[in-house]
Amino acid sequence: MPDWFAEAFPSDAELRLGNILVRLVAALVMGGLVAAIYRGTRRRRDAAGDLTQTLLLLAVVIAMITLAIGNNAARAFSLVGALAIVRFRSVVEDPRDTAFVILAVAVGLAVGAGFIWVPLLGLPMAGLVAWSFTGPAVPRADARCRVTLRTETGAAAGRAADALAPHLDDIRPRRVETVKKGTLVEQVWTGRLKSTSDPETLVGALRATPGFSGAEVVFPD
What confidence score (pLDDT) does residue 47 get?
47
Distance separating alpha carbons of residues 35 and 134, to the nearest angstrom = 15
What confidence score (pLDDT) does residue 48 get?
44
Q: What are the structural domain ranges in the chain?
A: 9-132, 144-218
Distance separating alpha carbons of residues 33 and 106, to the nearest angstrom = 13
SS (H, E, C) 158-200: HHHHHHHCCCEEEEEEEEEEEECCCCEEEEEEEEEECCCCCHH
**Reported pTM:** 0.59
What confidence score (pLDDT) does residue 40 get?
84
- Which residues 6+ apart lie within 8 Å of 56 measured at CB? 28, 31, 32, 34, 35, 104
Taking the CB of residue 17, how many other CB atoms lie within 10 A of it?
9
Distance separating alpha carbons of residues 93 and 221, to the nearest angstrom = 11
Task: Identify the CATH homologous superfamily for domain 144-218.
Answer: BMC (bacterial microcompartment) domain (3.30.70.1710)
What backbone torsions phi and psi does residue 41 show, to the nearest 5 degrees? -115, 0
Reported residue count of the chain is 221
- What are the 10-residue block averages of pLDDT along the chain, 221 residues in total? 61 71 93 90 59 88 86 72 61 75 90 90 92 63 74 64 82 78 76 79 77 73 54
Residue 34, SS3 per DSSP: helix
- Which residues 6+ apart lie within 8 Å of 215 measured at CB? 147, 148, 149, 150, 203, 206, 207
Facing residues of 216 across strands?
148
Distance separating alpha carbons of residues 188 and 176, to the nearest angstrom = 6
What confidence score (pLDDT) does residue 34 get?
93
